[in-house]
Every structure is written in C-alpha cells, then in structure tokens.
Amino acid sequence: MLMDLNADVGEGCGDDAALMPLLTSASIACGAHAGDAASMQRTVALALEHDVAVGAHVSYPDREHFGRRELALPPAQLSAEVLDQLHTLSDIAQAAGTRVRYVKAHGALYNRMARDEETAAAVISAVRSFDSALPILTLPESAAETVARRLGTPAVAEAFADRAYTADGRLVSREQAGAVITDEETVAQRAAEIACAHRVQSIDGHNVGIRARSLCVHGDTPGAVALARALRAALEQAGVELRAFA
C-alpha cells in the first residue's frame, strides 16, 4: 500500500520547519492567499532539504480572508490568476534546482472546484497551459476529477485526516462545529482507516467509501506537527509505505 502525506505550507502560520520532515509532498502557497517570494524561497529550500515533492497551492486572490471566501471571477480571469501563481512558484523552484510537481487549489477555490465544473475547467485549463502533464490533487469523484479526466489531465485523489466529512463524501464547512479535527489519536485512526479500509466516518456517523493516494494535514491546524507525526506512525504501523505521488 502506498500513501502520500501532504500539507499546506508557506502560509506564514504553523511550524513548516518541523512539519516538512514528516511529509512526502508540500503544497506551497503561491502568494494569492498567503506567502510571498521570500516565503516561497524558504519553503522550497526546506522541501529540497528533506526530499519532499514541491506542489503549487493556488488560490483565489484573497489575502484578507486567507482564500476561504469564494470570489465571482470570470473563468478567463481565474485562469490568468492561477497561471500567474504557477509561474511565480515555478521560477523560484527552478532557481533552487527543482520544479513544481503538482497543483492543489486552496480553500474556497478547492471546494468550488469540487462541485462546479466551470470553475474546475478554468483552473485546469491554466494548469494545462503551464504543463499538460502536471497532476492536480483533488477530492475523489468531484467535479474537478471529472473535468481533469475529460481534458486529459492527471487527477490524484486526496483525503483529509484532520477534517470532518459529510455523508456524501464532501468536507464539512469550517463554519460548522467539529469541521476541524485536532485530536491526535482520532486523526491517526482516521488516516489508517482511509489508507487500509478505504473509508471514513462522516460527521453524522455513516461510513463513507473513499479511495485516496494522498492524505492531507493542514499546516494551520492546531498541533499540525503532532498530528502529522501520529498519522505517519499509524500508517507505518499498518504497513503503508509513504511515498510522493509525483
């Protein structure tokens, strides 16, 4: 069994230096919701130091709300915004001697892509114009996965160990109590169940089938380093090999 462990990093919160050695992939903020050239340089250097795959964590241009508010951008404008973010991180990665290996949307954009094919198509079109072979990380059986397959873009299924799920396999809104899970034992158990049994318990107690190649721990979740350490130990104990997907 193979599993990737990714986290959203370079966002100016959390402890990236302590978190990075526990990861196999790092989704690095590209300046739209958080981060700047200096933070991207530092985070890429950390990823290189620990042999972690570099990913572009693209977002709505919304630093005020940390990219967690939907913006009504026309598809062409959204594509241009995403492409600009990709080029910014790519230039920094190449200068450091590496490259961007995948793309993951952040926050409101990630959730909008999961349900809205037009938004997904705008983002994926930007990715394809940047590098047609670049995979996107997204929810399984989402609109983004559907559009990616239709356009010929590799889509990698992702699950969240530190987020609650609805009975239909979507993420519970952060505005709802219990949406973010911070208990180490619970996160570790959920990770092992996702990896080995291909299911997760929804917030209302249902078992939801889910198949994922990557597990995410948010870098800004309280106690993210301890959560990632517990998650990694649980996966290794279950016989899961941790390896980047890209």
For the segment 22-46, the average pLDDT, to the nearest whole number, is 98
167-221 pLDDT tens trace? 988 899 888 999 999 999 999 999 999 999 999 999 998 899 999 999 999 888 8
- Structural domain boundaries in the chain: 2-242
Q: Is 36 left (phi over 0), alpha (psi -120 to 50) or beta?
A: beta
Query: pLDDT value at position 78?
Result: 98
**DSSP element (H, E) containing 23:** none
Residues 6+ apart with CB under 8 A from 148: 120, 124, 136, 138, 154, 155
Distance, C-alpha 72 to centroid of its chain: 22
Residue 210 dihedral angles phi and psi, to the nearest 5°: -155, 130
Q: Does residue 117 have a pLDDT over 90?
A: yes
What does the block give as tokens for 108?
Answer: 């409101």
Q: Does residue 112 have a pLDDT over 90?
A: yes
Residues 6+ apart with CB under 8 A from 199: 193, 207, 208, 209, 210
Query: pLDDT value at position 218?
Result: 87
Dihedral of alpha carbons 207, 212, 214, 216, sign: negative
Q: How far is the CA of 47 from the CAs of 26, 88, 131, 140, 223, in angstroms?
A: 7, 17, 21, 26, 20
For residue 129, the one-letter residue type is: S
Q: Could you give the 3-state DSSP secondary structure of residue 80?
A: helix
Q: Does residue 21 have a pLDDT over 90?
A: yes
Question: What single-letter DSSP state applies at residue 240?
Answer: P
Query: pLDDT value at position 222?
Result: 84
Query: pLDDT value at position 98?
Result: 98
Q: What is the mean pLDDT of the chain?
A: 95
Q: Are 123 and 80 in contact (CB under 8 A)?
A: no
Percent of the chain with pLDDT over 70: 100
CA atoms within 13 A on the CB side of 226: 9
For the segment 83-98, the average pLDDT, to the nearest whole number, is 98
Tokens 């998650």 belong to residue: 231
For the segment 140-145, the average pLDDT, to the nearest whole number, is 95
Query: pLDDT value at position 220?
Result: 84
For the segment 14-35, the average pLDDT, to the nearest whole number, is 96
Q: Are 37 and 60 in contact (CB under 8 A)?
A: no
**Comparing C-alpha atoms, which of 50, 54, 44 is closest to residue 20?**
50
Tokens 């793309």 belong to residue: 103
Would you identify the CATH topology of the domain 2-242?
TIM Barrel (3.20.20)
Q: Which residues make beta-bridge pairs with 217? A: 7
Would you say how long the chain is, in residues? 246
